[in-house]
Protein backbone atom coordinates (compact mmCIF):
# COMPACT_ATOMS: atom_id res chain seq x y z
CA UNK A 1 0.00 0.00 0.00
CA UNK A 2 1.21 3.47 -0.87
CA UNK A 3 2.05 5.87 1.93
CA UNK A 4 2.04 8.81 -0.49
CA UNK A 5 -1.45 10.21 -0.91
CA UNK A 6 -2.83 12.97 -3.12
CA UNK A 7 -6.48 13.99 -2.85
CA UNK A 8 -7.85 16.06 -5.71
CA UNK A 9 -10.95 18.13 -5.00
CA UNK A 10 -12.26 19.00 -8.45
CA UNK A 11 -15.24 20.94 -9.75
CA UNK A 12 -16.40 24.18 -11.34
CA UNK A 13 -16.36 27.50 -9.51
CA UNK A 14 -19.04 27.82 -6.87
CA UNK A 15 -19.14 24.24 -5.55
CA UNK A 16 -16.98 24.84 -2.46
CA UNK A 17 -13.65 23.31 -3.55
CA UNK A 18 -11.42 25.78 -1.72
CA UNK A 19 -13.32 25.72 1.56
CA UNK A 20 -13.63 21.94 1.56
CA UNK A 21 -9.97 21.46 0.59
CA UNK A 22 -8.83 23.81 3.36
CA UNK A 23 -10.92 22.07 6.03
CA UNK A 24 -9.89 18.63 4.79
CA UNK A 25 -6.18 19.54 4.82
CA UNK A 26 -6.46 20.89 8.38
CA UNK A 27 -8.06 17.61 9.52
CA UNK A 28 -5.02 15.60 8.39
CA UNK A 29 -2.00 15.62 10.71
CA UNK A 30 0.45 16.42 7.91
CA UNK A 31 -1.93 17.84 5.34
CA UNK A 32 -1.22 20.57 2.82
CA UNK A 33 -3.63 22.42 0.52
CA UNK A 34 -2.44 23.43 -2.98
CA UNK A 35 -4.82 25.77 -4.83
CA UNK A 36 -4.26 25.45 -8.60
CA UNK A 37 -5.98 28.83 -9.16
CA UNK A 38 -3.23 30.54 -7.17
CA UNK A 39 -0.62 28.85 -9.36
CA UNK A 40 -2.46 29.92 -12.53
CA UNK A 41 -2.54 33.52 -11.39
CA UNK A 42 1.22 33.64 -10.78
CA UNK A 43 1.35 34.32 -14.53
CA UNK A 44 0.59 38.05 -14.52
CA UNK A 45 -1.01 38.07 -17.97
CA UNK A 46 -2.80 34.76 -17.56
CA UNK A 47 -5.23 33.58 -20.19
CA UNK A 48 -7.04 30.27 -20.52
CA UNK A 49 -4.69 28.84 -23.13
CA UNK A 50 -4.00 25.11 -23.08
CA UNK A 51 -0.29 25.85 -22.54
CA UNK A 52 -0.93 27.96 -19.42
CA UNK A 53 -3.52 25.55 -18.03
CA UNK A 54 -1.10 22.63 -18.40
CA UNK A 55 1.68 24.72 -16.84
CA UNK A 56 -0.49 25.21 -13.75
CA UNK A 57 -1.11 21.43 -13.54
CA UNK A 58 2.63 20.71 -13.89
CA UNK A 59 3.49 23.33 -11.25
CA UNK A 60 0.94 21.74 -8.91
CA UNK A 61 2.60 18.37 -9.54
CA UNK A 62 6.06 19.80 -8.75
CA UNK A 63 4.85 21.25 -5.46
CA UNK A 64 3.09 17.98 -4.72
CA UNK A 65 6.34 16.04 -5.24
CA UNK A 66 8.14 18.34 -2.78
CA UNK A 67 5.47 17.94 -0.11
CA UNK A 68 5.21 14.17 -0.62
CA UNK A 69 9.00 13.90 -0.17
CA UNK A 70 8.57 15.65 3.20
CA UNK A 71 5.86 13.18 4.26
CA UNK A 72 2.76 15.29 3.68
CA UNK A 73 -0.63 14.27 2.34
CA UNK A 74 -1.48 16.71 -0.45
CA UNK A 75 -4.94 18.08 -1.17
CA UNK A 76 -5.19 19.66 -4.63
CA UNK A 77 -7.98 22.17 -5.16
CA UNK A 78 -8.46 22.74 -8.86
CA UNK A 79 -10.57 22.68 -11.98
CA UNK A 80 -9.89 19.56 -14.04
CA UNK A 81 -12.70 19.60 -16.65
CA UNK A 82 -11.69 16.36 -18.38
CA UNK A 83 -9.80 13.14 -17.77
CA UNK A 84 -7.00 14.45 -19.95
CA UNK A 85 -6.46 17.31 -17.48
CA UNK A 86 -6.08 14.84 -14.61
CA UNK A 87 -3.68 12.82 -16.77
CA UNK A 88 -1.51 15.91 -17.33
CA UNK A 89 -1.20 16.38 -13.56
CA UNK A 90 -0.64 12.67 -12.89
CA UNK A 91 1.97 12.32 -15.65
CA UNK A 92 3.92 15.28 -14.24
CA UNK A 93 4.22 13.67 -10.78
CA UNK A 94 7.67 12.20 -10.20
CA UNK A 95 7.03 10.54 -6.82
CA UNK A 96 6.63 6.77 -7.17
CA UNK A 97 3.92 4.79 -5.39
CA UNK A 98 1.54 7.71 -5.03
CA UNK A 99 -2.15 6.99 -4.57
CA UNK A 100 -4.28 9.69 -6.20
CA UNK A 101 -7.91 10.06 -5.16
CA UNK A 102 -10.31 12.28 -7.11
CA UNK A 103 -13.58 13.75 -5.86
CA UNK A 104 -15.46 15.99 -8.27
CA UNK A 105 -17.90 18.29 -6.55
CA UNK A 106 -21.01 19.08 -8.53
CA UNK A 107 -24.54 20.25 -8.09
CA UNK A 108 -27.49 21.76 -9.88
CA UNK A 109 -26.19 24.30 -12.36
CA UNK A 110 -28.51 27.07 -11.17
CA UNK A 111 -27.34 26.64 -7.55
CA UNK A 112 -23.67 26.67 -8.58
CA UNK A 113 -24.17 29.81 -10.68
CA UNK A 114 -25.91 31.55 -7.75
CA UNK A 115 -23.06 30.62 -5.38
CA UNK A 116 -20.46 31.89 -7.85
CA UNK A 117 -22.36 35.16 -8.44
CA UNK A 118 -22.48 35.76 -4.67
CA UNK A 119 -18.77 34.98 -4.32
CA UNK A 120 -17.54 37.27 -7.07
CA UNK A 121 -20.27 39.89 -6.90
CA UNK A 122 -20.73 39.52 -10.64
CA UNK A 123 -22.68 37.32 -13.04
CA UNK A 124 -20.06 37.63 -15.81
CA UNK A 125 -18.68 34.14 -15.14
CA UNK A 126 -22.11 32.51 -15.53
CA UNK A 127 -21.30 31.11 -18.99
CA UNK A 128 -17.87 29.86 -17.88
CA UNK A 129 -19.44 28.01 -14.94
CA UNK A 130 -22.03 26.48 -17.29
CA UNK A 131 -19.33 25.39 -19.75
CA UNK A 132 -17.24 23.75 -16.99
CA UNK A 133 -20.30 22.09 -15.47
CA UNK A 134 -21.31 20.60 -18.82
CA UNK A 135 -17.74 19.52 -19.67
CA UNK A 136 -17.34 17.74 -16.35
CA UNK A 137 -20.62 15.90 -16.75
CA UNK A 138 -19.60 14.80 -20.25
CA UNK A 139 -16.35 13.26 -18.91
CA UNK A 140 -17.72 12.17 -15.51
CA UNK A 141 -16.50 8.57 -15.84
CA UNK A 142 -12.89 9.85 -15.78
CA UNK A 143 -13.27 12.37 -12.94
CA UNK A 144 -13.33 10.11 -9.90
CA UNK A 145 -16.33 10.09 -7.61
CA UNK A 146 -18.94 12.76 -8.34
CA UNK A 147 -20.37 14.34 -5.19
CA UNK A 148 -23.51 16.46 -5.53
CA UNK A 149 -23.11 19.29 -3.00
CA UNK A 150 -26.46 20.94 -3.77
CA UNK A 151 -28.03 19.79 -0.50
CA UNK A 152 -24.86 19.10 1.51
CA UNK A 153 -23.25 21.48 3.94
CA UNK A 154 -19.50 21.98 3.99
CA UNK A 155 -18.86 19.71 6.97
CA UNK A 156 -21.17 17.03 5.53
CA UNK A 157 -19.18 17.09 2.29
CA UNK A 158 -15.87 16.84 4.16
CA UNK A 159 -17.21 13.92 6.23
CA UNK A 160 -18.43 12.19 3.06
CA UNK A 161 -15.01 12.55 1.40
CA UNK A 162 -13.26 11.24 4.53
CA UNK A 163 -15.59 8.22 4.61
CA UNK A 164 -14.88 7.51 0.93
CA UNK A 165 -11.13 7.79 1.56
CA UNK A 166 -11.35 5.41 4.52
CA UNK A 167 -12.92 2.83 2.19
CA UNK A 168 -10.35 3.45 -0.55
CA UNK A 169 -12.99 4.80 -2.94
CA UNK A 170 -12.15 7.37 -5.61
CA UNK A 171 -8.69 6.14 -6.52
CA UNK A 172 -7.62 7.39 -9.93
CA UNK A 173 -7.15 4.43 -12.23
CA UNK A 174 -9.15 4.90 -15.42
CA UNK A 175 -7.54 8.01 -16.86
CA UNK A 176 -5.50 7.51 -20.04
CA UNK A 177 -2.00 8.96 -20.32
CA UNK A 178 -1.85 12.62 -21.40
CA UNK A 179 -1.08 13.33 -25.02
CA UNK A 180 2.62 14.07 -25.43
CA UNK A 181 1.83 16.93 -27.80
CA UNK A 182 0.36 18.80 -24.85
CA UNK A 183 3.47 18.50 -22.71
CA UNK A 184 6.25 21.00 -22.17
CA UNK A 185 7.08 23.35 -24.96
pLDDT of 183 reads 39
pLDDT at 185 > cutoff 50: no
pLDDT digits (tens, 9 = 90+) for 105-164: 987 666 666 666 666 555 556 667 666 666 666 677 788 899 988 888 999 999 999 999
Q: Which fold has domain 4-173?
A: Rossmann fold (3.40.50)
Alpha helices in 70-151 (DSSP H): 83-92, 109-120, 126-138
- Which is higher by pLDDT, 165 or 179? 165
The reply to whether the predicted model has a pTM over 0.75 is: yes
How many C-beta atoms surround the C-beta of residue 176 within 10 A? Answer: 10
Amino acid sequence: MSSNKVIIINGPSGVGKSTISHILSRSIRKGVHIDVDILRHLVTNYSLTREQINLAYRNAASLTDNFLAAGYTVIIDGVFPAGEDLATFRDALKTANTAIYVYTLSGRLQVIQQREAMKTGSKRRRQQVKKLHNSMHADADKLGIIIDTTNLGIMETVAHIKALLARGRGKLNNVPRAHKSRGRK
